[in-house]
Amino acid sequence: MHRTLFFLLASATLPALFASSQDQNLVSKTRDRVRANRLTPAERKFDRIGWAPTITEALRLARENNRPVFLLTYYGNVATGRSCGDSFNLRATSLNDDSIISTLNQYFVPVYRSWDDLGASGDATPEERAEHHRIVQEATALKIKMSDVRIFLLNPEGHPLPASLGMSDPFRMQRGLLQTIMELGTKAGEPLIKPKPQSVPPSMPPGSLVLHTVARGTAKGNWREYPAENWTVLPKDQLADLLPPEPQIRPGQVWSVRDQTARAILTTLYPATEEDSRKDRNIIQKSSMKARIVSIDDGIVVARVDAAWTGKRSFYPGREPDHHLDVKAEGFIRFPVDRSDVFSFALATTSAWFEDEEFVGTVEDIKEIPSNP
């Protein structure tokens, strides 16, 4: 009798114990992969520069503090590594040099703006666009050499200086910066803008799920000095796309994430390539994201997520998409049994290839990211 009762109780608890173990292994394994793929302090030296938020603000600070301006304009988003080649290389070389970082912080008002920001649909104000146009016109009149990626040194009154800087040559850039401050008689001081993280999530409505992607190639040399990042915002009314459609929640339940939402997440998983805008140019041939509940404990559901996408992408913009992408990932999602929210979400690639280069990609909910990584 007692032996029969023991086996009955054991058979009832074994599935729960197995689910709990599977849940714990899945969550901890995914979190370990995500943490291992986060950017290191050495890869975030760009954040140690006290960047002004706009050209107009930089010009105001320059006038008030008698400092020259270091203005960088380029294509894409250099702060996330999704930018054009020259700006990506600049961030990996000169703007990764400790002496240059110190010189910019002590003597200059640094500011960077992409052509996306300064374009008609960008976030630049008419005043900022006008100032940028003026600077370009004055530089042209001085016959200052300009390319798609431009560095302007401006005097404290905001007028271009005919300085010679080497884009990816730290020695030459430092020499040009020091020569400028010697000629102007600029005095050293603290950064006028406190350095802070530059890759930050976009503005979001309350209750949104904000996801951060880090994609790290395994090749050597240019484009692999640091990984690329993306931010994906899912508004609260879109969170239901990630959750089971049926109100009845049960262990083992399986569902497919809505295709549009799955693609928004998955197509951020690709390594750094040259980008001249912030538009997605990935071509998706096939994608899927499925979830299966592995545990329900104290009103909290944990589901395993398996995802994959295949497609094409060109390394350089404006060319035929001739590089194949083949990505597989696994992770988890945590949510309440009433499906009213998403507590956390994470993915890590198990197999990811960009043509013949393997890469690692991770996606994590912003709530999982430490405030001081």
Dist. CA 61–CA 166, nearest whole Å: 25
For the ranges 91-95, 141-145, 173-177, 328-332, the lowest mean pLDDT is seen at: 141-145
Closest CA to 174 of 244, 125, 106, 221: 106
| pLDDT of amino acid 28 | 93
Dist. CA 46–CA 83, nearest whole Å: 14
Please name each of the domains of the chain with its CATH number: 15-40+199-368 (no CATH), 50-184 (3.40.30.10)
| pLDDT of amino acid 236 | 92
| Mean pLDDT, residues 238-248 taken together | 93
Instruction: For residue 10, name the pLDDT band (cuts at 50, 70, 90).
Output: very low
| pLDDT of amino acid 16 | 45
Closest CA to 182 of 112, 105, 95, 103: 103
Closest CA to 84 of 172, 147, 164: 147
pLDDT digits (tens, 9 = 90+) for 164-221: 787 778 999 999 999 999 999 999 999 999 999 999 998 888 899 999 999 999 999 8
For 21, 31, 82, 85, the CA distances from 316, given in Å and listed in that order, are: 45, 33, 12, 9
The reported pTM is 0.89
User: How large a percentage of the chain has pLDDT more than 90?
Assistant: 81
| pLDDT of amino acid 189 | 97
